[in-house]
Structure 1
Amino acid sequence: MALRLVQVNFKARDDAALGRFWADALGWGVSSEGPGVTNVEPVGFAWPDPSAVCVDVVAVPDPETVRYRVHLDLATTSEAHQAELVARLEELGATPADVGQGDVPWTVMADPEGNVFCVLEPREIYRDTGPIAAVVVDCADPRAMARFWGEAAGWTVHEAGDDHARLRAAEGVGPYLEFLRTTPGPKTVWNRVHIDLLPHRGADQAVEVARLAKLGATPADVGQGDVPWVVMADPEGNEFCVLGAPR
């Protein structure tokens, strides 16, 4: 497989402030590849590496306030760790969020720009994922999404049911990519959070874009203009980017 899932991209009004929040939340460091872009990744991390899915925060003039189809689940190791993490996140500027979750063992929160995320209770399956347990995508058909993304990114499908699907990098490291059956509703604007794929060294970006189109992806226009990456949408309309191949 010539593509790898390397990062989750957040659109933000203030990339530096939101990037610092997520760096502090995850215990990672920050850097910048240019104005309006803040990169969040583990300290000493040699990008790209399947052991972590990084966070890229990009400034845009006016991020839409919509129901978010993509969110992060954070891992904890004990009930005490979960409580400590929730308290620390509130000190950093996160707030409690109600998405209709009811009485559940995890805590739903929103970052300083309103992006919803979950702090999970300790679960054995996430004991070795790092601070991000999973990247979670709301969808109508988890099985179909697992098939597409398994082929698109070369990730192994660990579970695929009517209500939930779970994938992970073939190396068996890093966070999971999960699809949760919901009723997302009609999509009228682009997602504030999306996934970025990177071609392996020596791979041809155009060839990979053509392969993704055969799998059911379609071109997408989010106002990106003339850029070195290609914006596409998966079969349920979620945008993602195919970055330029590394040299």
Structure 2
Amino acid sequence: MALRLVQVNFKARDDSALGRFWAEALGWGVSSEGPGVTNVEPVDFDWPDPVAVCVDVVTVPDPETVRYRTHLDLNTTSAAHQTGLVTRLKELGATPVDVGQGDVPWTVLADPEGNLFRVLEPRSVYRDTGPIAAVMVNCADPRAMARFWSEAMDWTLHEVTDDHARLRSAKGVGPYLEFLRIPVLKTESGRVHLDLMPYPGDDQAAEVARLTALGATDLDVGQGDVPWVCLADPEGNEFCVLTPG
């Protein structure tokens, strides 16, 4: 049994507006499965496919204060591409943010609802990831997080140190999932989480039981009677297990 990382979920005040921003930022298209939900994915994409981790934007009545434990890193292929992308993102409504990063080669921005993300300088490791280089999660213990997530998913662990861990789909495509050690973590609820999906024919309840045995815990975020299951990883990061598909 194994799970796939299929999308990053953003809670939003306005799913349509935030979805349009991310579609323009990534060069993807938008669709909707119903009121209050905007799906952002590559044009003509047959979801799910590890070649891309999509973005799902959901309007909620009262989004939590932004917490910066999970963010996207955007890929660039040249210095000119990075400069041009930052300029275009600002025109779309992104704003520069100073988080104490100092003199670094990447640019930190916030989307129109305040979610942080980074536009990276060109890096060879991300040359074939697509527009999203990595989904980044701040944590206290990258080694422990790598153990949990590499067992939770069918993704391959590429690198792990005391400060950083990097995983990627076993098929060698799409963005990376990375864990970065941060001395002081935010503890309040966040607005960005990961959605995992079992393979067709696998049992959602069995996967949830397996994750619980690995150290995940049940999480009640007021979701009510829904077909997905909300859990928290060993460091308290929310994620959802969707129905098989």
- TM-score of the superposed pair, with normalisation by structure 1: 0.97
- After superposition, the C-alpha distances for 1:178-229 in whole angstroms (9 at most, x for unaligned) are 00000343523x2200000001001000000000001000000111011000
Find the counterpart in structure 2 of residue 111 from structure 1: 111
Contact 2:74–2:132 under 8 Å retained in 1 = yes
Alignment of 1:220-231 (within 5 A): 220-231=219-230
Find the counterpart in structure 1 of residue 206 from structure 2: 207
Letter in 2 for 1:17: A
Alpha-carbon distance, 1:76 to partner: 0.1
Letter in 1 for 2:151: E
Find the counterpart in structure 1 of residue 83 from structure 2: 83
Look up the SS of the partner of 2:39 in the other structure.
strand
Alignment of 1:167-178 (within 5 A): 167-178=167-178
Aligned residues: 245
Look up the SS of the partner of 2:72 in the other structure.
strand
Q: Tell me how large the CA RMSD over aligned residues is.
A: 0.9
1:55 aligns with 2:62: no
Tell me the distance in 2 between the aligned counterparts of 1:235 and 1:200. 23
Tell me the distance in 2 between the aligned counterparts of 1:163 and 1:99. 19
Structure 2: runs of 5 or more not aligned: none
Tell me the distance in 2 between the aligned counterparts of 1:244 and 1:197. 9
Tell me the distance in 2 between the aligned counterparts of 1:95 and 1:65. 17
- After superposition, the C-alpha distances for 1:103-147 in whole angstroms (9 at most, x for unaligned) are 100000000000000000000000000000000000000011011
Alignment of 1:167-206 (within 5 A): 167-185=167-185, 187-188=187-188, 190-206=189-205
Alpha-carbon distance, 1:2 to partner: 2.8
Alignment of 1:1-247 (within 5 A): 1-185=1-185, 187-188=187-188, 190-246=189-245
Contact 2:138–2:185 under 8 Å retained in 1 = no
Look up the SS of the partner of 1:84 in the other structure.
helix
Contact 2:109–2:117 under 8 Å retained in 1 = yes
Structure 1 residues 70 and 184, CA gap change in structure 2 (3 angstroms): farther
Look up the SS of the partner of 2:180 in the other structure.
strand
Contact 1:69–1:184 under 8 Å retained in 2 = no
Name the % identity.
78
Letter in 2 for 1:71: H
